[in-house]
Amino acid sequence: AQFTRLQSFPIFVRIPLYALPFVLVALVFVASVMLRPSPSLLPSSSAPGQRSGTGVPFPDGGSIGTAPQTGNQASQLHPGKVRKKWPFPAFIIPVNNPNSGQPVTFVLVDITLIASFAEQEDPPADKKIFVRDIIYQFFQNKPLEELRRYSLARGEMNKELRAWLQKQWPEAPIESIIFNQYHLS
């Protein structure tokens, strides 16, 4: 019964209807080919400074950042050094509301910094408290409306925090910032 109904349509309607499944399959195929990274963009296992069998892991879905997350890839900003993750697990920052009648708002931030260090060097433990305090001050000194805007404007927050870190610690080996979590409550 369905086929006879389709046959009753004029030819200029039937042709696109018959072609629709083929067009959809072609679109899915083209989209899958276009989204696959080209072989020239993938790191080769024989590249200098890399161990064989390791590649650039893709960031997980919750991460927001701009740098590859590899601990053994050569740094472009600091030659002779490698990029290493410097995690700053979730910490809570209280932010005062301008209206005294409103409760205190908390910012939950989980950040991983990508920094350049020598191959055997680990991120300095004595600077971890210093950097954590810089991050704390950055969010504490921002108005509540700007912190709310950062929920959507993560790229801008990333740039401003990086500039703030460079201002407070000019010789910092920090190359990029990955926001694993940012939440206002």
Domain-embedded: residue 76: no
Domain-embedded: residue 8: yes
Same domain, 9 and 97: no
Distances (CA, A) of 170 to 29, 123, 131, 162: 49, 16, 12, 11
Classify 80 in phi/psi space as left (phi over 0), alpha (psi -120 to 50) or beta: left
- Indicate the range of 1-5, 54-58, 136-140, 173-177 predicted with least confidence: 54-58
Same domain, 21 and 100: no
Domain-embedded: residue 57: no
Same domain, 92 and 20: no
Domain-embedded: residue 30: yes
| Whole-number pLDDT of residue 184 | 86
Residues 124-168 pLDDT 10s: 888 888 989 999 999 888 888 888 888 888 888 889 999 988 998
Distance CA(103)–CA(81), nearest Å, equals: 46
Domain-embedded: residue 68: no
Domain-embedded: residue 43: no
DSSP 8-state assignment for residue 51 = -
Same domain, 87 and 172: yes
Residues 73-97 pLDDT 10s: 444 555 667 888 888 888 888 887 7
Contact assessment for residue 169 and residue 130, using Cβ atoms and an 8 Å cutoff: yes
Q: In total, how many domains does the chain have?
A: 2
Domain-embedded: residue 178: yes
Distance CA(63)–CA(53), nearest Å, equals: 24
Residues 10-48 pLDDT 10s: 888 888 888 999 999 999 988 888 776 555 444 444 444
* Encoded amino acid at 51, one letter: R
| Whole-number pLDDT of residue 54 | 41
Q: Note down the domain range covering 167.
A: 82-184
Domain-embedded: residue 131: yes
Tell me the pTM: 0.55
CATH number at residue 170: 3.30.479.30
pLDDT band at 55 (very low <50, low <70, confident <90, very high): very low
